[in-house]
Amino acid sequence: MPELPEVETVCRGLAPAVVGGRIERIEIRRANLRFPFPEQFEARMQAQTVHSLSRRAKYLIMGLSGGEDLVMHLGMTGRFTIVRDGVPDTPGDYVYATGADPKHDHVVLHLSDGAQIVYNDPRRFGFMVMMAHEARDAHALFRNLGTEPLGNGWSADYIATRARGKTVNLKTLLMDQRIVAGLGNIYVSEALHRAGLSPNRRAASLADRKGRPTERAHRLVPAVREVLHQAIAAGGSTLRDYRHADGSSGAFQEAFAVYDRLDEPCRRTGCAGTVRRVVHSGRATYYCGACQR
């Protein structure tokens, strides 16, 4: 479910409810998600004050007063709900007020101001781990992550360097979190469409023989940035929403140019093409064969 814009939206929606707050206790309703919960999870969370909530790649990071970070990944279907006085609250577009799916409410953070932060995840591909803040960048989850596509490191020079000599296609390259951290299946398709680049094109074509960025790399870099900024401004994308969801949701799915639009007309002005669907590394890719080369 969540790619960078969705995780960013969750982060912004949750932050006002948790930052500065104190965790009275954490309630764990099963033994694991994708991985077992951290050792002594309850004890390590109890009585901690939340210093910060931030995002790196698709990870949410809660900085705690004791010096540890709670690192959370939402997998495909993870979501947070803020509940106050038993009533779901909707502070942000991607923070849902479902409250209708207790079967998959796996973790509840009880804050001392009475608010509850509920983590719901039907498929349980999400996970939570804890680590010392100091050791985070060296942790296996973080040390190989590529650059943030909304940060200064995301440049034509960077992608040319990383793509040089690679035989994979552009779709697979951009999905690789070791190259760019935070893009996923939706936004890779959307960014390549915006850049007018075929997902089937070889990654190496982003660099010339001397490793300098080609004109295609110069188109790709701002395209990625713009798609992400627009998606964040729209509160992310909401797909296949649950029938009982009554909270607010993202709106960017309305603006998809290609994703999930098989056989529909290309949305580029003046393009008469039709959206195609192919599979790269087991994941669906949508693109326009007419305007993406």
Partner DNA sequence: ACTGTACCCTGTAGGC
Partner DNA sequence: TGCCTACAGGGTACAG
Cα→Cα distances 117→14, 17, 30, 87, 248, Å: 9, 9, 16, 12, 16
Out of 184, 199, 213, 247, the residue judged to bind DNA by CB under 7 A: 184
At its nearest, how many Å lie between DNA and the CB of residue 89?
20
At its nearest, how many Å lie between DNA and the CB of residue 152?
21
104 counts as binding DNA under rule CB under 7 A: yes
Out of 219, 225, 242, 248, the residue judged to bind DNA by CB under 7 A: 242
Q: Say if CB 220 and CB 154 are below 8 A apart.
A: no
> Residue 173 is encoded by which pair of tokens?
């390259």
CA 87 to chain centre: 27
- Is residue 58 part of the annotated active site? The answer reads yes
CB closer to DNA, 100 vs 115 = 100
- Is residue 213 part of the annotated active site? The answer reads no
Distance in angstroms (rounded) separating the CA atoms of residues 13 and 101: 20
Distance in angstroms (rounded) separating the CA atoms of residues 124 and 215: 41
Distance in angstroms (rounded) separating the CA atoms of residues 252 and 34: 28
2 counts as binding DNA under rule CB under 7 A: yes
Q: Is 87 helix (H, G, I), strand (E, B) or coil?
A: strand
Binding part of the chain for DNA, among 36-44, 63-71, 171-179, 214-222 by CB under 7 A, reads 171-179
Site string for DNA, 73-92 (x = CB under 7 A): x-xx----------------
Catalytic residue among 12, 58, 166, 276: 58
Out of 25, 124, 218, 225, the residue judged to bind DNA by CB under 7 A: 124
Q: Say if CB 262 and CB 276 are below 8 A apart.
A: yes
- Is residue 24 part of the annotated active site? The answer reads no
Contacts of 146 (CB under 8 A, 6+ apart): 162, 176, 177, 178, 179, 180, 181
Catalytic residue among 3, 6, 68, 190: 3
The helix (H) or strand (E) run that includes residue 204 is none
CB closer to DNA, 136 vs 166 = 166
Distance in angstroms (rounded) separating the CA atoms of residues 246 and 223: 33
- Is residue 3 part of the annotated active site? The answer reads yes
9 counts as binding DNA under rule CB under 7 A: no
Binding part of the chain for DNA, among 44-52, 122-130, 191-199, 222-230 by CB under 7 A, reads 122-130
The helix (H) or strand (E) run that includes residue 70 is strand 68-73
Catalytic residue among 56, 201, 268, 283: 283
Tell me the catalytic residues. 2-3, 58, 283
Q: Report the interface residues with DNA, using CB under 7 A.
A: 1-3, 6, 34, 57-58, 73, 75-76, 103-104, 122-125, 141, 166-168, 172, 175, 177, 184-186, 236-243, 250, 281-284
